[in-house]
Structure 1
Amino acid sequence: MSEITYVRGDATVPSVKGVKVIAHVCNDIGGWGKGFVVALSRRRPEPEAAYRAWHRGRATNDFGLGAAQFVRVEPYMWAANMVGQRGIRTGSKGVPVRYEAIDAALGRLAQKTTELGASVHMPRIGCGLAGGAWARVEPLITERLVRRGISVTVYDHGEGRS
């Protein structure tokens, strides 16, 4: 069985051949403007536009914790907007990350990447502004994706990341 590949670099520009899905975690309140999504939007406007439209139409679609939206950004590249955090602030209920929601969204990601024959590229999802612990997220990725034979690369930015 393969493992998650860890590299230093930018998850918004995976440099492997074949179909690629850039996966990241979004909140459930329609907010887009801090963290990894800023870098993603700098390169590709489609995921943000699709996420905002998805959130606006939430009364009649599947938007919510655990949902995943797949947005084609190039012929061989997709973005996966995965709703895995409740709100954007740490409060009385703890940090915004929701591991069960990330797990459910990863299940949807596994299905889509299998259909596409794609590899998955991501930052350490749920562990930035969402406040999650990689020790809890990594096993979900291994279970949902790696054990199904899906190639996963996790990108860590170098020093000086703002």
Structure 2
Amino acid sequence: MLDAAVAAITEHGAAGISLRDLARRAGVSHAAPVHHFGDKAGLLTALAAEGYEMLAAALTETRERTGDFVEAGVTYVRFALGHRAHFAVMFSPDLFHADDPAVSSARERTYDLLVSGARAVRGEPGIAEIAAWSLVHGFATLWLTGALPPGAADDPERSARAIARILTGS
């Protein structure tokens, strides 16, 4: 069901999916999604939790490999571009049960990884971490929505690396 949701969200956006269509795509009865997830928000809650877990795993791997904030920023952008459906749902809490324990736990773990990497950023503690996250999240969102001017960032990873370096001065 989650794979079907990813495919449908990629095609139509998160707001445009229906449980009946997802059941058809997954080859299950139309009652199966309701049985497993309760409603559309329940299914999107599972997708958001999965996305946060995947992002946390990617950030953990980068942290263990490099320990570098800039590379954590690149990992964040790479995740957003490679997992567009998850990313879209994760940052649309009006679509899912944001207070769900699985989502809350995975989101907190992801945030802790982002914040720990952003300590290299100059500025007021707390604000510097938000600035760092805003920078990479904003860039990923601009890239995904096609809002960047043509040719402004032809290579998203190279551009993300350069943008993240602005905050660290490296």
TM-score after normalising by structure 2: 0.30
TM-score after normalising by structure 1: 0.31
Larger RCO, structure (CA 8 Å, separation 6 or more) = 1
